[in-house]
Structure 1
Amino acid sequence: MRKTRIALAAAAAATALTLSACGGGGTGGGDGDGDSIRIGIKFDQPGLGFKDGENYTGFDVDVAKFVAQELGYSENQIEWVSAPSANRETMLQNNQVDMIFATYSITDSRKEVVDFAGPYFVAGQDLLVANDSDITGPEDLNERNLCSVTGSTSAQKVKDTYAEGTNLQELPGYAECVTQMSGGTIDAVTTDDIILAGLAAQPAYQGQFKVVGAPFSEENYGVGLPKGSDRCEAINEAITKMIEDGAWETALQTNTEGTGYEPNADTNPPTPAACS
């Protein structure tokens, strides 16, 4: 099985991530040629894309570094660009970035205006709860306080589909939701499972929270590209290499450590789709 093969490659994974971080010429695309590459990520999503001073960390960042190396770019040739969710298509259409790794779900409507490589991860909507919570799924949220960010449809989906008696709370960001949950005023937080795991893995919350592990949606995270980009095949080859040599698994474990999070084994690691 592919998962077993990945686990056996753990030693190779650590080496691969080190090489990715240090840079050097790659063999996947070979189009670095001394130029920089502009990569859009989230700057405010711990465990996925996070900016702390001049340091950039997270699973999306690790995948982006690996892919960039395979395309022929060293780490010091990467220009990291903040890519808020609402601006991603515009940034690609206006050539403000060369590619985007930012929990960017592949959808038919988005594919009309931008291209995608990948997916490199398959997420699902889930719940983050206290370690001693008896909540095991969205059906347990009647008369409980559920938090999500302002403007998100995640919490409303739970109320409409699973637990009509849920008390919805909206806050500006997921970090605020988790802070409220640590104080006992929130019973659960909902969004994509890997986003929740990244939040729970932060030092301030180590050991306090867990991802329930019962995803109830499917989100294919892709690499956003300008329409007509010629990099899709090379990026898919790089993602496949990262998965097969174990670096993908190591990056995921490193960025969700201490949360007990396990991705859906039926969908992860994913197989990149054929480029259209």
Structure 2
Amino acid sequence: MRPLPLLTALALLLPLPAEAHRAWMLPSSTVLSGEDVWVTMDAAVSNDLFVFEHVPMRLDGLAVTGPDGAAVKPENSATGKFRSTFDLHLTRPGTYRASLANEFLFASYRLNGEQKRWRGRPENLEKDVPREAEGLKLTQSLQRTDTFVTLGKPNAAALAPSGRGLELRLDTHPNNLAAGEPARFTLLLDGTPAPGVEVEVVRGGARYRDKPDAMRLRSGSDGVVTVTWPGPGMYWLGAETQDERASVPNARRRAIYNATLEVLPQ
């Protein structure tokens, strides 16, 4: 696993307010038809949504699921200064899900009077952080970033939740969204409905608007979030929660979920 630059690692831990960095994947198209079809995906962390101006998302945790539920190999993967990119060859009709899922442990501590920070795998904590470290604070971060594309008729085999961390059960198909129509999603934490979690929804192109026009919603007692899209476009949906259920002793857990969704005109 190649290490993320420190700025990227810290950006992925930032909270949800409008001024925060956001992690996202952006497909060149989401609904397609024909034969020998390709889609290009961009992946980045940015201040302005869907604009390459901060740091790339690394592709180490990338997994693509095809319409039959089997893994699909991405092609032509590359990481540049501001974004990563890869191609998907859509050889079967149905829905594909591209996911970037990463799990890291973040530590802050003092050593010889200096403040230190570390990021890595939980199994490397004892090796990399000195025993004489003082004021050790640990955060276990689980982050998932999704996007979806469909060739021909949509199906649901690729949409099954993993049961780990924060994610969505897509009660409304993610490639069947229309402006002015409500979409129903269920927020899950470790496979169980997650009530009372704040969800932010932002339409792309905010740098060309006077206001970001972010929608802030909260999951109900059953974990359900209903979004009525104000207009067509590409949207970013993000949610985050913290708890004491980390697998590492004395650590807090931070679970983050992001998705990019296209909403079409009615």
For the aligned pair, the TM-score class normalised by the smaller chain equals under 0.3
Task: Provide TM-score, normalisation by structure 2.
Answer: 0.26
